Structure 1
Amino acid sequence: MEDPRTKGQQGGETEATTCGGRAGFPQRDRTTAHDRTRLALPKPEVAGLGNPGLLGTRHSVGMAVLGQLARRLGVSESWVRDRRCAADLALASLGDAQLVLLRPRRLMNANGRSVAQAAELFGLTAEDVYLVHDDLDKPLGKLALKLGGSARGHNGVRSCISCLNSSAMPRLRVGIGRPTHPNAVQAHVLGCFSPSEQELLPPLLERATDLLLDHIRERSQGPLSGT
């Protein structure tokens, strides 16, 4: 199988920009039948939202989940930088399915550009894209997986909704807790986990990975497989 990641492996954007002239991701992909056969397109895409270079912060916990997912699937050393979508990509097998793992190299409020460009590259629809991100409204250690819905104030999710032109993406929300004072929110999300919180992270990342894999397996005979 030709791996579409092998082209454009250098570079990567980190600027905070919008979808930049894109009319939004279409309801169906733009690839031809020939392209789909040539690329042997995998699905689904699992995107860990966050800020590049700030992987240890609460706001980038989605990227930490992707790191654990890659380790579980045996592809932790297989990340490749792809300049076409300004992201790090890894392909992983799960039964008969092949997953696209993605960590954007753009800032959080422009994560959607990377997510949508990778989805277009692999011929995926919004329903094929899992978003993994932090959630202020859930305490640390709490997880929730939902299908679709609003951004709930999360700039990374808002960017994905805008660039994919859809709110149908499944999301795994990872609780990081909300500070008591409203003025402390920015410092909280951009700050690193405290030592006591870091003790909770390994089992949290394991449970998040379990939840993702179980959900993907359950859907493998349904919409994600095209049946």
Structure 2
Amino acid sequence: MPGYGKQSDLSQSAGALQRAVSSCPCFRHVCGPLHEIEPPPPDGLDRIMMVGMGNYQIQSSRCSVGMAAVNILAKKLNVDNKWYFDRRCDGKVAVAIRGQHQIILLKPQQLMNLNGNSVKLAAEVYQVTPGEIFLIHDQIYLPLGKYVVAGEGENIRDHSGVMSCINKMKSDIMQRIMIGIGPPPYATKRGLLHHKLGRFSEVQQGNLLQVLDQCTNYLLENLNNS
């Protein structure tokens, strides 16, 4: 058929280009905005986002307790089998409904000091503002078994993940839940790094599960009252 070969070649070239751009690691920043924006939540629900911060490569480490917290949230919200990788925001996402809220649970699939990249992209995709974002993260200045809801500007600059989010979002009003992991045994840079990347002992895991249950209950009860 006349022209069939050219049309087929053009279709194959267009398909190859689309696949190449989709897999390009810079496509969100250089090759143009390919990600689709999510529509507003249904039935007038308020949308919020809860971010479990950490290092996706070692999610059982002390610095990744935020990810452990959102895993528990997912179970309590009955969406623990709904996680999926959303490449639009370089993170794993689960969506839940609680009362008048649609909750976007996010686990950035990047290093801790790059978590802000994922949070910024997710905020754009799911159309949430800094005031609608909860950052759940570790805090070495709190003893294991404690958690604190941080105020604006409180204990910011000592956490690389939080600073990454602030720099990317251009705001420090994101609500933060700090989960204590206790101080390092050696007050050196190397000792601090080993402490954050290390794992909890069996005894410590029991204390951790207790505080994770408490802080996730706080978040859900706070939603019920809002």
| Band the TM-score falls in, shorter-chain normalisation | 0.7 to 0.9
**What is the rounded CA distance, in whole Å, between the counterparts of 1:89 and 1:208 in structure 2?**
20
Report the residue type matching 1:190 in the other structure. L
**What is the rounded CA distance, in whole Å, between the counterparts of 1:167 and 1:136 in structure 2?**
20
Mapping 1:145-224, distance limit 5 Å:
145-150=149-154, 151-183=156-188, 184-218=191-225, 220=226
- Number of residues paired by the alignment? 195
Q: How far does the alpha carbon of each residue in 1:147-179 deviate from its partner, in whole angstroms, 9 at most, with x for none?
A: 421523100000000111100000000000002
**What is the rounded CA distance, in whole Å, between the counterparts of 1:152 and 1:46 in structure 2?**
21
Mapping 1:87-106, distance limit 5 Å:
87-106=91-110
SS of residue in 1 equivalent to 2:56:
coil
Is 1:142 the counterpart of 2:149 in the alignment?
no
Q: How far does the alpha carbon of each residue in 1:64-88 deviate from its partner, in whole angstroms, 9 at most, with x for none?
A: 0000000000000000101110000
Relative contact order, CA 8 A, sep 6+: which one is greater? 1
Q: Is the 8 A contact 1:126 1:169 kept in 2?
A: yes
Q: Which has the higher helix share?
A: 2
Which blocks of at least 5 consecutive residues in structure 1 are unaligned?
1-9, 22-30, 221-227
Q: Is the 8 A contact 1:11 1:82 kept in 2?
A: no
1:208 CA displacement: 1.4
Percent of aligned pairs sharing the same letter? 37
Q: TM-score, normalised by structure 2?
A: 0.78
Name the larger-Rg structure: 2
**What is the rounded CA distance, in whole Å, between the counterparts of 1:76 and 1:36 in structure 2?**
23
Call closer, same or farther: CA 1:124–1:186 in 2, change over 3 Å. Answer: same
Mapping 1:26-45, distance limit 5 Å:
35-36=39-40, 43-45=47-49
